[in-house]
Structure 1
């Protein structure tokens, strides 16, 4: 295996980590409308991800930076072709971060309610758009011989991509609902478990439809294995939450996300952005990669820094592992 193949795997791992971690806090943001009955319960949900949401986004920055350094042509074509969707995601992430930080800066109800609206929409929109983006990548794009995207925005809004967006939206929301049940106590925990059953059933149907479509069009034996793992893990997550085993359900929903992302990258390799105009114009791990020396330096840096960052983030989750409820909100106690 050459260095560009290794970095393809590394980037797949980074996107898997991002969707696993950011997936549940996107879900929590959506749940501020679907699950919370009042503003105290919204505070409970927001507090479950308060210490970790910004650390989760580091995975996105790392994935983007690694793509830029290891596969500059992939990065250039991706960000030019998906300029408007990625700009929308970036704006949402900025507003979402501001909303988390500024929501409690003033006591007025209107002020806090507006920021809570922002948290909901800036969680829902990226959760949908990421699915649209990755579905288009594996489906193939209108890339010409100059490695440039020559399609339009409407080309990205095809049925396969829209289904992919619905899958990531429902999958992340289900993942977040299980996380809410795992991290809360009292009535909100009970309602989170009930909502997870409904969302889980919808997610299973949509995910099987999307992954089955992908397997039929571009899959092989290895992607079929990944699809089977994703399907079994997702069904197992629904069964575990029905049995009241939130920890197992959260782990299994995470496995489902990891297996689904793995399937996407397995159907891509050795391409990174297939061309729907001509297979010869596709971007591959070899024709879009940086020089071997650049990849070698990156490998040494990643080998030293990545374990330290992961250990620190794991320690953060351990410190903030306890459940919370409305009784832990200071204003509600009075």
Structure 2
């Protein structure tokens, strides 16, 4: 395996990890307005991800940094062509992080309600925009012979990419509902499980259309195998959720996300950004990569640091593994 192929694979793994972890993060943020009935329940949902949400975003930083170092042409074309949606995502992630920290700084209901609005919208928009972005990457965008993006923002708003955005939004919300059922106690746990069933069925319909469309448009045998895994895992997650096996349901919804993202990367390879203008102008893992020496140094760093980061994050989840409920939340008038 060439080093540029290895780094394509590693970047795919980083994006899979990011969407697996940040997926339920975004889902919980959306559920603060959909599932929670009052301030206490919103606090319960926020507290389920309170200790881990910032660690989940390390995967995004790693994926972006790895793309910048391993595939500078990919990084430059992607961030110049997708400037507006990526800027919106960045702003949302910043505001969302501030909202988590500032919501409880003052006890006034209006203050907390405004930050809760920010959590909701800054979770919903990135969940949708990431699907739009990856849909366009797989579909192909206008790229010229000089590797520069030649389209406009309107070129990104095509039916395939917009469907991808809806799929990631619903899938992440389903993932978040399963996580909420796993991490909460009492009535909110029961309602989260019921809502997960509805969201899972909606995800199954939308995702199946999107994945079949992807397979027909640019798929291969490997992407077909990943699609089958994603569909089977989603059906199994729905079954486990219905049986009240929240741990299994969460693991399987995570497998669904992992397999679906893997399918996109498998359908994309060896391209990293196909050109819809001329296939010969597409960016590939070979022509967009850094020098072999740079990739070699990066590989040694990744081999040493990646296991350490994963071990630390696994330990964090283990420490904060217990369920929480409204009984653990003080009365709003006292905090």
TM-score tier (shorter): over 0.9
Query: In the alignment, what sits opposite 2:273?
Result: 273
- For 2:223 and 2:98, locate their aligned partners in 1 and report how far apart those are by CA, in whole Å: 39
1:309 corresponds in structure 2 to 309
- 2:333, 2:267 → 1: CA distance? 53
Which residue is 1:175 aligned to?
175
CA distance in 1: counterparts of 2:109 and 2:245, whole angstroms? 36
Q: SS where residue 117 of structure 1 aligns?
A: helix
The CA distance in 2 between the partners of 1:289 and 1:152, in whole Å, is: 25
1:150 aligns with 2:111: no
Match of 1:262 in 2: 262
Aligned ranges 1:60-99 → 2 under 5 Å: 60-99=60-99
Q: Helix, strand or coil for the counterpart of 1:103?
A: helix
Give the Cα–Cα distance (whole angstroms) in 2 for the partners of residues 170 and 115 of structure 1. 23
Unaligned runs of 5+ in 2: none
Q: Displacement, 1:220?
A: 1.1
In the TM superposition, what whole-angstrom CA distance separates every residue of 1:237-258 from its partner, at most 9, and x where no partner exists?
1111011111111000000000
The CA deviation at 1:22 is 0.1
Q: TM-score, structure 1 length as denominator?
A: 0.99
Q: Distance in 2 between matches of 1:42 and 1:55?
A: 21
* 1:272 match: secondary structure: strand
Question: What is the deviation of 1:281?
Answer: 0.2
SS of alignment partner, residue 272 of structure 2 = strand
Give the whole-Å Cα distance in 2 for the aligned partners of 1:231 and 1:125: 25
Aligned length: 334
Residues 195-246 of structure 1, C-alpha deviation per residue, up to 9 Å, x if partnerless?
0010000000000000000001111111110000000001111111011111
TM-score normalized by the length of structure 2: 0.99
Preserved CA contact (<8 Å) 2:107 2:333 = no
Hey, what's the Cα distance between the residues in 2 that align with 1:220 and 1:19? Answer: 23
Q: Does 1:288 align with 2:278?
A: no
Secondary structure of 2:51's partner?
coil
After the TM superposition, which residues 12-27 of structure 1 pair with which residues of structure 2 at under 5 Å, given as runs? Answer: 12-27=12-27
| 2:57 partner SS | helix
Matched, 1:222 2:205: no
Match of 2:37 in 1: 37
CA distance in 2, matches of 1:152, 1:238: 39
| CA apart distance, 1:333 | 10
Bigger Cα displacement from structure 2, 102-111 vs 42-51: 102-111
Aligned-pair CA distance for 1:330? 2.0
CA–CA distance in structure 2, aligned partners of residues 285 and 162 of structure 1: 26
- Structure 1 match to 2:190: 190
- Once the two structures are TM-superposed, the CA of residue 332 in structure 1 deviates from its matched residue by 6.0
- What residue number does 1:297 align with? 297
For 1:131, the equivalent position in structure 2 comes to 131
SS of 1:330's partner is coil
Identify the residue that residue 233 of structure 2 maps to in structure 1: 233
Answer yes or no: is the 8 Å Cα contact 2:32–2:42 preserved in 1: yes
The Cα shift of 1:148 comes to 0.6
Q: Deviations over 1:112-161 (max 9, x none)?
A: 00000000000000000000000000000000001011111111000000
- Structure 1 portions without partners, runs of 5+: none
SS in 2 for 1:275: coil
Question: How far apart are the structure 2 equivalents of 1:185 and 1:104?
Answer: 22
Residue 53 of structure 2 corresponds to: 53
Is the Cα–Cα contact under 8 Å of residues 326 and 332 in structure 1 kept in the other structure? Answer: no
Give the conservation status (yes or no) of the 8 Å contact 1:327–1:333: no
Q: Indicate if the aligned counterparts of 2:107 and 2:332 stay in contact, CA closer than 8 A.
A: no
CA contact (8 A) 2:48 2:324 kept: yes
Query: 4+ residue stretches of structure 1 with deviation over 6 A?
Result: none
